[in-house]
A and B are shown apart, each in its own frame.
Chain A
Amino acid sequence: MVNDSSQRPSPEQLLAQIQLEERRERRGKLKVFLGYAAGIGKSFQMLDEGRRRRERGEDVVVCATQPQYPAEIQAILPRLEVIPALKTGESESIDVPAVIRRHPQVALIDGLAYDNPTGSPNAYRWRDVEQLLEAGISVITTVNLQYLEKLRDEVERITGKRAPYSIPRGFLDSSADEIVVVDAPAMESLLHGATPADRAARLAEQHKLSRLRELALLVAASVVDHQLESYLRSHGVDQPWGVQERILVCVTPRSNAVEMLESGRRNADRFQGEFYVAYVQQPALSQEDRAILQQNLDYARKLGAQVEILSGLDAVDVILKFAHQKGITQIFIGHSMREGGGGVGCGATKLTV
């Protein structure tokens, strides 16, 4: 596919791009094993990857461990080099100067979301990690999703609990950073912790864990979706691949908007998709139509839709262009539109693109 010249980057953009890439190259790479609860196997997967890398000849060092490990992890640890943590009373922190002196290719850090003991140079472990990355050391680490700031509210809605500390939004956002979801059934992870005695409490707990598990999968999916988008963009591909469902509801003043908007919202929720609402400007709307339209668009916003006002001569053409551009996978069109603005129906036609 040939790039349109209007999309060609300016010299300033190119320079910024090059500088960014240079910085990225010097910087260590961050890889995060994301989980939703203790005991689902994050530590094992991370340390096992460290072991495999070491056996392939990479210089891998363990910089932080958890206090207790099951048998399968204890079998791996002796095969890895460990830089002992600094102990301050009960708590431990990474010996950052020692790690930087030793300068391995890869540092394994089990548990990203820790506070460092008072008086440490960095208050939080993620700052230690930042320092190692800046020093050109790659880091592989583990974290549970409730400690990510951008998920804190959502997790609180599910569990009713708020994580005591969090890792800021900016930390995991570099496109060089990688995320791997560690998935395991809620039941198994529950068995590792305390099991509530009564059945109802146990089921409620399991339900919460399932929702957290689903959230972890969806967070990883959206990270991957952005990677896909940026990959396609950087390779000059403007084809939307439709992995992520994106639902577009087209409204007019006359269409049965409320029902369509609600149905669109429901589909977007069910498919875990994005929800768009578009209106193609029409000439000479009556006062009454304008008011209804405004109501419809307000309602769309209330339902959390991204509302777009489009203009153009041929409404169908405008909508299809917009749909292509946004990678829309389902379009809802009201009866009034499909009959050329004539009648008002209560059904809707959906076009799957």
Chain B
Amino acid sequence: MSSSIHINRDEEQTYGQSDRSQLKVFLGYAAGVGKTYRMLEEAQQLKRQGKDIAVGYFEPHGRKDTIAKAAGLELIPRRIVAYRGGTFQEMDTTAILSRRPATCVVDELAHTNVPGSERSKRWEDVQVLLDAGIDVMTSMNIQHLESLNDQVFQITGIRVRETVPDWFVKSAAEVVMVDATTGALLNRLKRGNIYAAEKAQRAMENFFKESNLTALRELALRQTAHELELREIASASEERRPQQEPSSASPSSPKATIDRILIYVCADASTAMLIRRGRRMADYLCADCFAVSVIPLRDHSRLPKQDRDAVAKHLNFARNLHVETRILEGDDAAETIVDFARRNQITQILLSRRNHSSWSRLFGTDLILRIVKEAKDIRVIIVSERRRSNYTPAHK
């Protein structure tokens, strides 16, 4: 028998149903597609309608058209931060809070604040504004979405470090796609509208390859369609139960949940990829999702400290993505997992294809094979890491 330790239960995510404030995300697929321009255009429209609107942070990048669009809008001055002998400019969240506009424009949601700032990520600053009842319009690119991190790496060969958790984007009332053709984007880059000449040349050789941009564009279009569908499902289920109190305690989702997904967490580095993939699947299938690890019964020290730390890190990562976590005790990992899965009506178990070598040594035989054998009534999904084959498109 295994006992489960309750770690964390996230509240059900609601879509754009914040009682006070609303978040609107302008989603693009690269720098220069026109997110800021579009956002400022909308800000101007709101201003014309007499709405109280201020710009909390806006990154002009020296783009003439974008700067012209900001004309006449109230800009809240940035905060100057000294760090390691340099000075940096950050959004002044405190100043925005005391100015308290009805709507605030915040560019570059995925930005990481300079060390020593009150919060490490800009999206956390945006959360503070939303909590204070301020509507926020913001912009980000598809490659900054946490759950797509592996896929973006596979496409571009670039590991994006600044990410925004999916649940935060999901909490937005609206996600709007800002589209441009890749041809138009490359022309803008060549004309120097996006970056200075030298940087533009480097960009074109790396991230701004036509194949990368096309793939990212498709990813952004599909993600926006998906975000839309999530909100449709949520609003449809709201409609079906108009009388009921929103139940935050109930473990069963208000959506028509069929699937329940278990992500097996171990020390192996591929677990992070597995968690992202599981989170994404759960979103698509409207499924409940658990990240579960197994520690040896009684004698925890049988697990090396570095492995314990890695597991703790992975569980923490899962919680950041709003995946419920469980630590189970048991001497037989396969049996413990399958037993938990049965008791919790799990329909799919996600395992990484990477070998669980230290785990296998600890638990005896190959975990994947054992789980596949034991859990005949449950779908077992073996996820292989998206690997990038190294080739360069033949440019003439």
Contact = CB atoms under 8 A, between A and B. Distances in A.
Contacts of B285: 266-267, 270
B102 interface: no
B221 A218 contact: yes
B376 A335 contact: yes
Interface string A151-192: 000000000000000000000000000111111110000000
B177 A217 contact: yes
B228 interface: yes
Interface in A55-81: 56, 71-72
A122 B214 CA distance: 36
Contacts of A335: 376
B184 to A, nearest CB: 8
A239 B155 CA distance: 10
Interface in B133-184: 151, 154-155, 174, 176-184
A97 interface: no
B32 to A, nearest CB: 13
Given A242-B386, A270-B285, A351-B382, A224 B377 contact: no
A270 to B, nearest CB: 5
Interface stretch (A12-20, A111-119, A342-350): A342-350
A351 B176 CA distance: 33
Contacts of A235: 211, 393-394
Given A224-B214, A270-B284, A349 B372 contact: yes
Contacts of B76: none
Given A185-B174, A347-B377, A349-B382, A213 B228 contact: yes
A243 B222 contact: yes
Interface in A314-353: 335, 338, 345-353
Contacts of B378: 347
Contacts of B384: 351-353
B379 A347 contact: yes
A1 interface: yes
B20 to A, nearest CB: 18
Contacts, number: 139
A217 B224 contact: yes
A203 interface: yes
Interface string B353-396: 00000000000000000001001111111111010010101100
The listed residue with most B CB atoms (<10 A of its CB), out of A214, A218, A267, A347, is: A347
Contact of B382 (A211, A243, A267, A352): A352
Nearest to B375: A347
A241 B388 CA distance: 9
Nearest to A31: B181
B372 A211 contact: no
A339 to B, nearest CB: 9
A220 interface: yes
B45 interface: yes
B48 interface: yes
B174 A239 contact: no
Interface stretch (A126-134, A141-149, A225-233, A301-309): A225-233
B74 interface: no
Interface in A37-93: 44, 52, 56, 71-72
Contacts of B239: 203
Interface in B222-239: 222, 224-226, 228-229, 231-232, 235-236, 239
B215 interface: yes
A310 interface: no
A338 B65 CA distance: 59
A187 B232 CA distance: 13
Nearest to B381: A350
A206 to B, nearest CB: 8
A272 interface: yes
Interface string A227-264: 11001100111010111100000000000000000010
Given A221-B218, A241-B154, A180 B180 contact: yes
Query: Interface of chain B, helix or strand or loop or mixed?
Result: helix
B104 to A, nearest CB: 18
B41 interface: yes
Given A335-B376, A350-B379, A218 B225 contact: yes
Contacts of B376: 335, 345-347
Contact of B181 (A180, A210, A345): A180
A227 B214 contact: yes
Contacts of B178: 183
Given A180-B180, A210-B232, A235-B394, A221 B222 contact: yes
A242 B277 CA distance: 14
Contacts of A31: 181
B232 A207 contact: yes
Given A203-B239, A218-B221, A71 B48 contact: yes
B130 interface: no
Interface string B207-220: 00011001101110
A183 B224 contact: yes
A72 B45 contact: yes
Contacts of B232: 207, 210-211, 214
26 contacts: A1-B391, A180-B179, A180-B180, A180-B181, A183-B177, A183-B178, A185-B174, A207-B236, A211-B232, A214-B228, A214-B229, A227-B182, A235-B211, A236-B393, A237-B393, A241-B211, A241-B215, A242-B151, A243-B215, A271-B284, A272-B226, A345-B376, A347-B376, A349-B382, A351-B381, A352-B382
Given A180-B184, A207-B235, A349-B372, 5 more contacts: A31-B181, A228-B211, A242-B151, A348-B379, A351-B384
Interface of B: 41, 44-45, 48, 65, 151, 154-155, 174, 176-184, 191, 210-211, 214-215, 217-219, 221-222, 224-226, 228-229, 231-232, 235-236, 239, 277, 284-285, 348, 372, 375-384, 386, 389, 391, 393-394
Interface of A: 1, 31, 44, 52, 56, 71-72, 178-185, 203, 207, 210-211, 213-214, 217-218, 220-221, 224-225, 227-228, 231-232, 235-237, 239, 241-244, 263, 266-267, 270-272, 335, 338, 345-353
In the A-B complex, list the 8 residue pairs whose CB atoms are closest, starting with the nearest: A221-B221, A217-B225, A183-B177, A235-B393, A224-B218, A345-B376, A350-B381, A228-B214
